[in-house]
Amino acid sequence: MTDFGPLFTPFRLGRFTLPNRFVFPPMGLQVCEGGVPSEEAADYYARRAAGGASLVITEGVYIDHPSSGDNPLLGRFHGEDAFAGWKRVAERVHAAGGICVPELWHVGLIYCGPDVLTGGPLAYRPELGQVSPSGYIDPQNKVCDAMTQQQIDQVIEAYARGTRKAVELGFDGIELHGAHGYIIDQFLWKALNHRTDKYGGSPRARGQFAAEVVRACRAELAPGMPLILRISQWKMVDYNARLADTPQELEELLAPIVEAGVDLIDCSQRRFWEPAFGGDNAGTDLNLAGWTKKVTGVPTCTIGSIGLDSDFFVNLGEGKTSQLDLERLDDLMRRFDRGDFDLVAVGRAMIAEPDWPLLVRDGRLDRLRPFTPAALDQALMAHVAD
């Protein structure tokens, strides 16, 4: 039987010592009526902390900027009613023994697209004042002007305000959503960043905006409060997109961000076992978290169908059930023992079974429930039955 003991060793994240290596990642359930998390939402997050997640990251919350996002069922980080709800989330997670950070989010031009949530066409909504580095809504279509320096500064300040408020509300740090094709990722991704100033051109220049956001947010955090950045190769508008084509490009892209001061890089993949690079690097099976740690020296978190036999998009697109995959867990431990990454984020499996880490610790794998699309609808009420 696989030895999962190493996942139950402590890890230092900023000023906190996590008792184990399990993270409950941001999972957008779209359950915040008017952008405000309910009592049930707070209990939902707390239940995952009680089930063994030492770090709980909330779903993406829109920062206080006119075009950060407008889905009324996703959380917002502005307005006193929303602040009261998010304060309650932090308090409940702390009471359950977990560390809690919000994921601060600005979507840029990406509001809807050919993705798992909508399946519809991309939509440009000029009435919202949408912004992006070069005005491209996807790699082929430019729909507006590139951001001015003033607009860039306004978005950076909105991230800083969100960080300041997170501290006031009692959160332990922040995560910046820099993945999946949203605004930070739009600067990182060369397919959408066509700028010729300090924010575009070379990989290092494409990382400059993210670095300035990190630096502004870091200034609002007390010493030791962790700042996490989420990155990904894939985007909601293109599952085959590449943030970087080689480890060398990845290193150059992330260098200014690392210099600005990140404590952890959260590396989003659809399938954690897939190598991040091919070509001359095809001889290694390092995933994105593995390569990111190798080229930056910064601790990383891996995610992507942990312990399951199909990814999130197959679940929702085809309505399939994801079963426990013991071979994948063996592979996860092989990579962890090798030092590829430091933390492991378990999303869908912990939605279906909040006690997933504790059951794994106790060797009770037969108790792990499979994940079904219906589990998303049931997640908020699961604590009532528990």
* Mean pLDDT lowest among 318-327, 344-353, 356-365, 375-384: 375-384
Q: Name the superfamily (CATH) of residues 5-385.
A: Aldolase class I (3.20.20.70)
What pLDDT does residue 377 have? 62
What pLDDT does residue 159 have? 98
Phi and psi dihedrals of 50, rounded to 5?
Answer: -65, -30
Interval 297-327: pLDDT, tens: 999 999 998 877 655 554 444 445 555 667 8
Model pTM? 0.92
Interval 358-369: pLDDT, tens: 999 998 888 877
Interval 34-72: pLDDT, tens: 999 999 999 999 999 999 999 999 999 999 999 998 888
62 flagged as catalytic: no
Phi and psi dihedrals of 185, rounded to 5?
Answer: -70, -30
Mean pLDDT on 105-110 = 90
Phi and psi dihedrals of 125, rounded to 5?
Answer: -125, 85
Distance CA 325, CA 318 (A): 19
Per the residue annotation, which of 44, 45, 182, 199 is the catalytic one? 182
Q: With 80 as the cut, is the pLDDT of residue 374 above it?
A: no
- In the chain, domain spans: 5-385
* Residue 376 contacts residue 116 (beta carbons within 8 Å): no
Count other C-beta atoms under 10 Å from residue 3's C-beta: 8
> If you average pLDDT over every residue of the chain, what do you get?
89
Interval 137-196: pLDDT, tens: 888 889 999 999 999 999 999 999 999 999 999 999 999 999 999 999 999 999 999 999
